[in-house]
Amino acid sequence: MNRTETLHGLSQSPKVDVCVLGGGINGLSVFRELALQGVNVLLVEQADYCSGASAALSRMVHGGLRYLENGEFSLVKESLVERDRLLRNASHYVAPLPTTVPIFDTFSGLANGVVRFLGLTRRPSRRGAIAIKAGLGIYDFLTRKRALMPKHEFRSRRATLSKWPALNPSIRNSATYYDAWVSHPERIGIELLRDGLSAGPNAMALNYATVEASGSGYRLRDGLNGEVLPVQPRLIINATGGWIDIANGTLFADEAGPAPLMGGTKGSHLIIDNPALRDMLDGHMIYYENEDGRICILFPYLGKVLVGSTDIRVDDPGTVRCEADERDYILQSLAFVLPGIKIRPEEIVFQFAGVRPLPASKDSFTGRIPRDHFCTVLEGKNGGPPVLCMIGGKWTTFRSFGELAADMALDQLGVTRRVDTADRAIGGGRVFPKDPESWIRDLAASTGLSVARVAVLFERYGTEAEDIAGFIAAKPDHPLPHALYSARELQYLVRAEAVEHLDDLLLRRTTLAISGDLSLVMAEAALDLLAAEKGWSAERVAEERSRFLTLMGERHGVTEHTLSARNEHRSELCETTAKSG
Ligand SMILES: Cc1cc2nc3c(=O)[nH]c(=O)nc-3n(C[C@H](O)[C@H](O)[C@H](O)COP(=O)(O)OP(=O)(O)OC[C@H]3O[C@@H](n4cnc5c(N)ncnc54)[C@H](O)[C@@H]3O)c2cc1C
């Protein structure tokens, strides 16, 4: 069902069982859960899917080693179970990540860990070798039955510095353990959406739309054309993450709203294009503590290096960006752990920020606010539908959090669960081949695309590459000013994946922007293609260009000048591709 059909359907029949507000990873997860049970469910997202915190994470799929310090054992256990499920169910995007912790002390962190656990202090302190060993022992114990990845190991100072000579020489030793990372978190969101929509016409979703109180009921507002329609849900799920209290304000417009549920903290990251740094990491994440005790991370990401993050209280998640002082903090932390590596300003090719949806807390140390998730049900306004609020939640645990909220919703609706998602593969993780090389060769042979092209599609989309390769091969294609994309591939994404703005395509359906691989000519070529698909006027195209460049400049630190400086580099790549056929 496309957008016009969805809006038309709602105008004919405004009754839905459940209306989910928020299309971040948690909203999409509960949407998929309910759709798969045959529930009549509508999801509305005020911006694009996975454009809030779900696009701003550190891209770790992890148990959360440091949450052990807060005594959050059950969260760590649940996260490790979900991490291991994602390694199986989304193996096209989630992969093991060897993670190395440089250690500067032997004993510190122990006494502090105990008093913190007893609730006597919240102050962070240095974590010494024994405290880290204890944490990693618990990690290994919790995963011992599944044992998908090797156990942790310690390295002496000498062995550590011989493997990573650029590390701060004042380390005493290091520990390496395994967690996981996700390459395309925004695409997993789209795959959950498509999985839910494919359950049947009972499942509907709209990005760029909101639902708000109107008189004694609710109305849906289409953010693209301003159309307003009544909706009559039996239950509302507020899955708006850091916006939860703002969204409750619009749902309980004419009443004293509920007490605040959320207290978000902002975190920022940089993407750095420094091949020496990337190669030096040798595929490892460095999970280190800065001099102030805050945990920071860096690891190779799509040919660049991802470094972060900060932890600052904020009120409005809509306006966050990586500020200059955060950028300085991240670079200073990098200089502390890797004093030999110098980062030039032009090597920062992208930056991003988002708000962690954490439960309301008065804790003065943001790192100590609980990371667990839970749901609470608010009575509806004037006897209207109840509002189930999803509070907290990490990206890693989206499935179990969605399952929890869906089970509560099913209970309210009196519907029995019929599909379990614990072992259900996601999107391009379905029927994942044991031998990818022969899968790629077979698909290349059946579509007539080159093996190299199909290999790129497989890396980008997993087994969904089959549909995309079929689409590309069905009609004449033409190149774009980027060696590894063509017009038909982007056309597929525009038609199949609810692309409404240029940033949806370049920031979330593809990794062009975040990987620092986007040039101005490529952005303009993608805009021309999108405009042709949508039938946009010249005026609308100009607005869209300006929207995109403003967003890139203000939110991601990438100016029009930077994008255009990348043009020359790109045309060289295109020539190479053309010559190689
Ligand atoms: C800096 C940082 C690093 C992180 N690192 C990790 C990590 O490495 N691993 C991990 O597991 N987790 C990590 N997290 C946590 C994780 O990103 C979040 O917990 C998760 O993405 C939250 O998803 P969500 O769907 O609840 O919220 P969001 O993704 O923020 O989605 C909420 C959505 O609701 C929409 N919305 C708001 N108001 C309305 C309305 N009225 N109507 C309709 N829609 C509305 C918003 O536009 C938004 O898209 C990190 C978070 C941050 C900020």
Q: For the residues of 272-307, what is the DSSP string, one character each? A: E--HHHHHHHTTPEEEEE-TTS-EEEEEEETTEEEE
Measured CA to CA, the distance from residue 414 to residue 235 in angstroms comes to 12
The answer on pLDDT for 38 being more than 70 is: yes
What atom in ligand 1 is closest to the CA of residue 250? Answer: 41
**Which segment of 9-23, 259-273, 368-382 scores lowest on mean pLDDT?**
368-382
What pLDDT score was predicted for residue 253?
76
Strands 265-272 and 228-238: unpaired
CB-CB neighbours of 280 under 10 Å: 20
> Do 185 and 59 contact (CB within 8 A), yes or no?
yes
Which of the 8 DSSP states describes residue 380?
A: P
**Neighbour-count burial of 552, counting CB atoms closer than 10 A to its CB (0-12 exposed, 13-18 middle, 19+ buried):** buried
Pocket test for ligand 1, best of 395, 397, 507 (most atoms within 8 A of CB): 395
**Which segment of 117-121, 212-216, 335-339 scores lowest on mean pLDDT?**
117-121
What atom in ligand 1 is closest to the CA of residue 268? Answer: 1
Measured CA to CA, the distance from residue 294 to residue 125 in angstroms comes to 9
What pLDDT score was predicted for residue 363?
66
Average pLDDT for residues 339-347, to the nearest whole number?
A: 93
Average pLDDT for residues 504-524, to the nearest whole number?
A: 97
Ligand 1 binding pocket (C-beta < 6 A) is 21-27, 44-47, 51-54, 56-60, 210, 239-243, 247, 250, 267, 309, 354-357, 393-396
CB-CB neighbours of 423 under 10 Å: 8
Per-residue burial over 5-36, b = 16 or more CB atoms within 10 Å of its CB, e = otherwise:
ebbeebeeebebbbbbbbbbbbbbbbbbbbbb
**Which segment of 121-130, 425-434, 510-519, 524-533 scores lowest on mean pLDDT?**
121-130
The answer on pLDDT for 334 being more than 80 is: yes
> Do 320 and 353 contact (CB within 8 A), yes or no?
yes
What atom in ligand 1 is closest to the CA of residue 354? Answer: 53
Say if 3-53+186-262+371-413 and 60-183+265-355 have the same CATH topology: no
Q: pTM to 2 decimals? A: 0.94
Pocket test for ligand 1, best of 29, 46, 57, 72 (most atoms within 8 A of CB): 57
> Do 180 and 87 contact (CB within 8 A), yes or no?
yes
The answer on pLDDT for 575 being more than 80 is: no
Measured CA to CA, the distance from residue 406 to residue 383 in angstroms comes to 22
Measured CA to CA, the distance from residue 327 to residue 127 in angstroms comes to 24
Average pLDDT for residues 141-162, to the nearest whole number?
A: 93
Measured CA to CA, the distance from residue 506 to residue 518 in angstroms comes to 8
Average pLDDT for residues 110-129, to the nearest whole number?
A: 53
Pocket test for ligand 1, best of 99, 243, 307 (most atoms within 8 A of CB): 243
Question: Between residues 71 and 416, which one has the greater pLDDT?
Answer: 416
Report the separation in Å between the CA atom of 163 and the middle of ligand 1, taken as the mean of its atom positions: 36
CB-CB neighbours of 52 under 10 Å: 26
What atom in ligand 1 is closest to the CA of residue 242? Answer: 30
Q: With pLDDT > 70 as the criterion, what percentage of the chain qualifies? A: 92
The answer on pLDDT for 573 being more than 70 is: no
Question: Between residues 113 and 211, which one has the greater pLDDT?
Answer: 211
pLDDT tens across 283-323, in order? 999 999 888 888 899 999 999 999 998 788 887 888 899 99
Q: How confident is the model at residue 577 (pLDDT cuts 50, 70, 90)?
A: very low
Average pLDDT, the chain: 91
Report the separation in Å between the CA atom of 358 and the middle of ligand 1, taken as the mean of its atom positions: 10
**Which segment of 82-86, 314-318, 423-427 scores lowest on mean pLDDT?**
314-318
What pLDDT score was predicted for residue 359?
82
What atom in ligand 1 is closest to the CA of residue 355? Answer: 53
Q: How confident is the model at residue 120 (pLDDT cuts 50, 70, 90)?
A: very low
Distances in whole angstroms, Cα of residue 494 to Cα of each of 209, 259, 326, 497:
18, 40, 35, 6
Average pLDDT for residues 418-423, to the nearest whole number?
A: 97
What pLDDT score was predicted for residue 119?
45
Measured CA to CA, the distance from residue 548 to residue 528 in angstroms comes to 13
Q: What are 287's strand-pairing partners?
A: 297
The answer on pLDDT for 107 being more than 70 is: no
Structure tokens at 115: 């008093």
Average pLDDT for residues 539-551, to the nearest whole number?
A: 98
CB-CB neighbours of 120 under 10 Å: 10
The answer on pLDDT for 580 being more than 70 is: no
What atom in ligand 1 is closest to the CA of residue 49? Answer: 49
CATH dotted code for 3-53+186-262+371-413: 3.50.50.60
Measured CA to CA, the distance from residue 97 to residue 176 in angstroms comes to 10
Q: Kindly list the domain boundaries of the chain, sorted by start residue.
A: 3-53+186-262+371-413, 60-183+265-355, 475-579
Question: Between residues 440 and 121, which one has the greater pLDDT?
Answer: 440
Q: With pLDDT > 90 as the criterion, what percentage of the chain qualifies? A: 78
Task: Indicate which residue's Cα is closest to atom 13 of ligand 1.
Answer: 57
Task: Indicate which residue's Cα is closest to atom 19 of ligand 1.
Answer: 394
Cβ partners under 8 Å of residue 98, min gap 6: 176, 177, 178, 283, 284, 285
Q: What's the fold here for domain 60-183+265-355? A: D-Amino Acid Oxidase; Chain A, domain 2 (3.30.9)
The string of DSSP letters for 476-492 reads ---EESEEEEEHHHHHH
Report the separation in Å between the CA atom of 241 and the middle of ligand 1, taken as the mean of its atom positions: 5
Report the separation in Å between the CA atom of 246 and the middle of ligand 1, taken as the mean of its atom positions: 14
**Which conformational region is residue 207 in: left (phi greater than 0), alpha (psi within -120 to 50 degrees), or beta?**
beta
Average pLDDT for residues 388-400, to the nearest whole number?
A: 96
Measured CA to CA, the distance from residue 302 to residue 511 in angstroms comes to 9
Pocket test for ligand 1, best of 29, 32, 45 (most atoms within 8 A of CB): 45
Average pLDDT for residues 223-252, to the nearest whole number?
A: 95
Per-residue burial over 433-455, b = 16 or more CB atoms within 10 Å of its CB, e = otherwise:
eeeeeebbeebbeebebeeebbb
Report the separation in Å between the CA atom of 55 and the middle of ligand 1, taken as the mean of its atom positions: 7
What pLDDT score was predicted for residue 118?
43
Pocket test for ligand 1, best of 20, 44, 58, 246 (most atoms within 8 A of CB): 58
The C-alpha R_g of the chain, in whole angstroms, comes to 24
Per the document, the length of the chain is 581
Measured CA to CA, the distance from residue 310 to residue 317 in angstroms comes to 15
The answer on pLDDT for 178 being more than 70 is: yes
Report the separation in Å between the CA atom of 48 and the middle of ligand 1, taken as the mean of its atom positions: 12
pLDDT tens across 404-418, in order? 999 999 999 999 999
The answer on pLDDT for 145 being more than 70 is: yes
Average pLDDT for residues 225-239, to the nearest whole number?
A: 96
Report the separation in Å between the CA atom of 326 and the middle of ligand 1, taken as the mean of its atom positions: 20
What atom in ligand 1 is closest to the CA of residue 185? Answer: 21
pLDDT tens across 255-271, in order? 666 788 888 889 999 99
Q: Which helix (H) or strand (E) holds 532?
A: helix 520-534
What pLDDT score was predicted for residue 252?
87
Task: Indicate which residue's Cα is closest to atom 10 of ligand 1.
Answer: 395
What pLDDT score was predicted for residue 213?
92
Cβ partners under 8 Å of residue 229, min gap 6: 7, 10, 11, 14, 219, 220, 222
Q: How confident is the model at residue 224 (pLDDT cuts 50, 70, 90)?
A: very high
Sequence-separated contacts (24+) of 254-262 with Cβ below 8 Å: 254/213, 254/381, 255/381, 258/378, 260/360, 261/359, 261/360, 261/376, 261/389, 261/391, 262/357, 262/358, 262/359, 262/360, 262/391
Measured CA to CA, the distance from residue 244 to residue 260 in angstroms comes to 8
The answer on pLDDT for 27 being more than 90 is: yes
371 three-class SS: coil
What atom in ligand 1 is closest to the CA of residue 396? Answer: 11
204 three-class SS: strand
Most confident of 70-79, 132-141, 370-379, 385-394: 385-394
What atom in ligand 1 is closest to the CA of residue 390? Answer: 26
3-state secondary structure 439-475: HHHHHHHHHCCCHHHHHHHHHHHHHHHHHHHHHHHHC
Pocket test for ligand 1, best of 19, 30, 46 (most atoms within 8 A of CB): 46
Question: Between residues 325 and 125, which one has the greater pLDDT?
Answer: 325
